[in-house]
C-alpha cells in the first residue's frame, strides 16, 4: 500500500468517528432522576415493555447494548455514571412507557422512501448511512442534505441542525423536516399538527433530549443531478497551504451554491475536499476563475452518483461498496474531545502559520473547516433554533483523539484542544463566542439545578453560545411542554421561569 493510501485510510478512521456526542440512537430520559430500580422495573412490566427489551447492569446483554451506540470511549470510562436500565424500544408504546432510564432507539430505524413524492420517513435510531443508502436505492436523483459521517444517529443529528456537503445548496437537515412523531413528557404521542408550532420549531435544531423523544421524522428529499463531481486535493505546509487556507476563507462562502469545498487541516497538510452538483468540465472552469491558486484540474475530478459521494466523503474512495454505509459499528475504538467556532472575518495568514506548530506537535489533532454561505445564509436565523446563518463564513471543528486509557493522556489531549481554542479567541465570533450544538462541548458551561428544575440563568451561559437569541424561545417552549424538566442533562434546555414569560407564546 502506498503512503498516500495509508495516510488516507488513517484520515478516514480519524474523520468518521466524528459521530460525536449525538450518540447514535440514544435519547436520555431524565437520566439525573435515578429512582428505585425494582420499582422502576415493576413499573415497566406493568406498562408492558417485554422484559427482554430491558437491560439492567446485572444482565449479560447490558454492556454490549450500552457500548453499541457510544462512539467515544470517554463515555464508557469507569467515572461515567451508568444508566439504571436501558430500554431498547421496539415500538412507540415502549418509549411512551419509559421513565428514569436510557431509552435506546437503535431498533426504531426503519426508513421508508416515497420517491414519487420526494419524501422519506426515518426512525430516529437509524444512522445517516442507513438513510442515505435507502434514498440512493430508491432514486439516482434524490438526496438528503445532512452530515458526512455515516455512523451518526439521525435523531441527534437532525435535533441539533445537521450540516453537511449539501448545506450550501439545500440548508440543514433540520431545514428539510416536514413532520415528526414525538413522545412528550406526559407520554403522549404527537405529530406536527398536534404538538403545535412552538414544539415543532424547537425540535428542529434545539438539540436532542430536551423536549421529548422524537421517534421518527418525515423528510423532504432534494434533487441532485445523476452525475456529481468530487475531488480531494492535498497541499503540504511547504506547498503554500497557509496561503491556500487564507484565500479559501474569502472565496468558499460565496462560491456557487452547488459547490461545497471544505478543508481538513492536519499535521503538515491541508486537504481540500469538494462536492459539486454538476460535471467536471464546469467545475474546472469555476475553480480556475475563483480559486486558481489551488491548481485544480480535470485529472482531480471523479464523476459519480450522489450516493457514491456519501461513500467518498466517509471513506475517501468512491469505489468502496455502498453497503459500508450500513455498518453501524458495535463499539467505540477511541477517546476524543471536540470544540467548535464560527468565523465571521477571515483569519490572518500569520495565525494559520502559527496553527501548524500546534498541529505538528500533536499528531492526534485536526481542524475541519466547513464553508457556509449559499442557502445557509438565506434562511432567517430565527426560522429554526439554529442561528448560525448569514454573516458566518465557516465553522471550525477542533478535534483531538487518542487510544490509550489514563489520566495523563486525557489531560494532555484536553489541554491541547483547549489551548488551541483559547488562542483562536480573538479571530472568531464574539459576544457570544458561538459554537455548534451538535459538537457538544461541556467546557461552555453546564446546567445547575435551582429548586426542582434546571436554572435558566445558568443555562444561558452555554445556551446562547449554541442558540443566540433563540435560546429564550427554546426555554419558553420547554416551560410549556416540560415544565417539570423531565428531560434533562448537562446541556438540556431549562424551562423559562414564569415571570420571564416569552412574548410570542
Distance between CA atoms of 148 and 211, rounded to whole angstroms? 26
Residue closer to ligand NAG by CB (options 233, 301) is: 233
> Least separation, in Å, of the C-beta of 5 and ligand NAG?
18
Residue 193, number of CB atoms within 10 A of its CB: 9
Nearest to 145 by CA among 225, 254, 252, 221: 221
Return the closest-CA partner of residue 402 out of 356, 335, 304: 335
Shortest Cβ 92–ligand NAG spacing (Å): 12
Q: Which strands make up the sheet holding 86-88, listed edge to edge? A: 26-29, 101-104, 86-88, 54-55
The least distance separating ligand NAG from the CB of residue 267, rounded to whole angstroms, comes to: 10
**Shortest separation between residue 311's beta carbon and ligand NAG, angstroms:** 30
Between 190 and 377, name the residue whose CB sits nearer to ligand NAG. Answer: 190
Residue 239 or 423 having the CB closest to ligand NAG: 239
Backbone angles phi and psi of 467, in degrees to 5: -120, -5
Question: Who contacts 408 (Cβ-Cβ below 8 Å, separation ≥6)?
Answer: none
Nearer to ligand NAG, 156 or 459 (CB): 459
Q: Is the peptide bond before 423 cis (omega within 30 degrees of 0)?
A: no
Nearest CA to 277 among 306, 318, 316, 319? 306
Neighbours of 419 (CB within 10 A): 13
* Interacting residue ranges for ligand NAG, rule: CB under 6 A: 179, 191-194, 236, 238-239, 451-452
Smallest gap, in angstroms, from Cβ of residue 480 to ligand NAG?
Answer: 18
Minimum distance between the CB of residue 56 and ligand NAG, rounded to whole angstroms?
A: 26
DSSP letter string, 439-454: S--GGG----EETTEE
| CA dist., res. 179 & res. 106, Å (int) | 20
Query: Are 344 and 434 in contact, with CB atoms under 8 Å apart?
Result: no
Query: For ligand NAG, which is the closer residue by CB, 33 or 251?
Result: 33
Nearer to ligand NAG among residue 191 and residue 297 (C-beta): 191
Nearer of residues 75 and 121 to ligand NAG, judged by Cβ: 121
Cβ proximity to ligand NAG: between 193 and 380 the closer is 193
State the chain's maximal CA–CA distance in angstroms: 68
Give the closest residue to 334 by CA, choosing from 105, 83, 18: 18
Q: Give the shortest CB-200-to-ligand NAG separation in angstroms.
A: 11
Whole-angstrom distance, CA of residue 348 vs CA of residue 345: 9
Smaller CB distance to ligand NAG: residue 200 or 342? Answer: 200
Minimum CB–partner distance for residue 288 and ligand NAG (Å): 22
Cell of 374: 449559499
Region of 391 on the Ramachandran plot (φ > 0 left; ψ -120 to 50 alpha; else beta) = left
Our CB check for ligand NAG shows the closer of 4 and 504 to be 4
Minimum distance of ligand NAG from residue 487's CB (angstroms) = 17
* Sequence-distant (≥ 6) Cβ neighbours of residue 324 within 8 angstroms: 129, 150, 311, 314, 315
Q: Which is nearer to ligand NAG, 4 or 452 (CB)?
A: 452
Cβ at position 237, least distance to ligand NAG in Å: 8
DSSP 8-state assignment for residue 229: E
Count of positions (residues) in the chain: 505
CB of 294 to ligand NAG, least distance (A): 16
DSSP assignment letter at 299 = G
Nearest to 242 by CA among 339, 316, 346: 346
Closer residue to ligand NAG, CB minimum distance, 219 or 376 = 219
Cα separation of 80 and 85, whole Å? 15
CB of 210 to ligand NAG, least distance (A): 20
Amino acid at each position: 500500500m502506498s503512503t498516500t493510501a495509508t495516510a488516507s485510510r488513517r484520515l478516514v478512521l480519524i474523520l468518521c468517528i466524528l459521530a460525536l456526542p449525538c450518540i447514535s440512537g440514544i435519547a436520555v430520559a431524565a437520566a439525573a432522576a435515578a429512582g428505585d430500580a425494582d420499582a422502576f422495573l415493576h413499573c415497566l412490566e406493568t406498562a408492558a415493555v417485554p422484559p427482554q427489551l430491558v437491560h439492567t447492569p446485572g444482565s449479560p446483554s447490558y454492556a454490549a447494548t450500552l457500548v453499541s451506540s457510544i462512539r467515544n470511549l470517554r463515555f464508557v470510562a469507569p467515572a461515567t455514571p451508568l444508566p439504571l436500565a436501558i430500554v431498547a424500544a421496539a415500538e412507540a408504546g415502549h418509549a411512551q412507557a419509559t421513565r428514569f432510564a436510557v431509552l435506546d432507539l437503535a431498533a426504531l430505524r426503519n426508513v421508508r422512501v416515497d420517491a414519487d413524492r420526494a419524501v422519506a420517513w426515518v426512525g430516529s435510531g437509524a444512522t445517516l448511512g442507513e438513510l442515505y443508502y435507502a434514498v440512493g436505492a430508491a432514486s439516482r436523483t434524490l438526496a438528503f442534505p445532512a452530515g458526512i459521517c455515516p455512523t451518526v444517529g439521525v435523531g441527534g443529528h437532525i435535533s441539533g441542525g445537521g450540516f453537511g456537503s449539501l448545506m450550501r445548496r439545500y440548508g440543514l437537515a433540520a431545514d428539510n423536516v416536514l413532520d415528526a412523531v414525538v413522545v412528550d413528557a406526559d407520554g403522549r404521542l404527537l405529530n406536527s399538527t398536534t404538538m403545535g408550532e412552538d414544539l415543532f420549531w424547537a425540535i428542529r435544531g434545539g438539540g436532542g433530549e430536551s423536549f421529548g423523544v422524537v421517534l421518527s421524522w418525515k423528510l423532504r428529499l432534494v434533487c441532485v443531478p445523476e452525475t456529481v463531481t468530487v475531488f480531494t486535493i492535498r497541499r503540504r505546509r511547504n506547498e503554500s497551504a497557509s496561503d491556500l487556507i487564507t484565500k479559501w476563507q474569502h472565496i468558499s462562502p460565496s462560491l456557487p451554491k452547488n459547490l461545497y469545498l471544505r478543508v481538513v487541516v492536519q499535521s503538515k497538510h491541508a486537504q481540500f475536499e469538494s462536492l459539486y452538483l454538476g460535471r467536471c468540465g464546469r467545475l474546472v472552469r469555476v475553480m480556475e476563475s475563483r480559486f486558481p491558486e489551488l491548481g485544480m484540474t480535470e485529472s482531480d475530478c471523479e464523476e459519480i452518483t450522489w450516493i457514491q459521494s456519501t461513500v467518498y466523503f466517509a471513506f475517501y474512495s468512491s469505489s468502496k461498496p455502498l453497503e459500508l454505509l450500513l455498518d453501524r459499528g458495535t463499539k467505540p475504538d477511541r477517546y476524543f474531545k471536540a470544540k467548535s467556532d464560527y468565523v465571521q472575518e477571515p483569519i490572518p495568514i500569520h495565525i494559520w502559520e502559527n496553527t501548524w506548530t500546534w498541529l505538528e506537535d500533536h499528531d492526534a489533532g485536526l481542524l475541519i473547516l466547513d464553508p457556509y454561505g449559499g442557502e445557509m445564509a438565506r434562511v432567517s436565523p430565527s426560522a429554526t433554533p439554529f442561528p448560525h446563518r448569514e454573516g458566518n463564513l465557516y465553522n471550525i471543528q477542533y478535534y483531538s483523539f487518542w487510544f490509550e486509557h489514563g489520566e495523563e493522556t486525557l489531560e494532555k489531549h484536553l489541554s491541547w484542544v483547549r489551548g488551541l481554542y483559547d488562542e483562536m479567541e480573538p479571530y472568531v465570533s464574539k459576544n457570544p463566542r458561538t459554537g455548534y450544538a451538535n459538537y457538544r462541548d461541556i467546557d461552555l458551561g453546564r446546567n445547575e439545578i435551582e429548586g426542582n428544575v434546571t436554572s435558566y440563568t445558568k443555562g444561558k451561559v452555554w445556551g446562547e453560545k449554541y442558540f443566540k437569541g433563540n435560546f429564550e424561545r427554546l426555554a419558553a417552549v420547554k416551560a410549556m411542554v416540560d415544565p417539570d424538566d423531565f428531560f434533562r442533562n448537562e446541556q438540556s434546555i431549562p424551562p423559562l421561569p414564569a415571570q420571564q414569560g416569552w412574548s410570542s407564546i
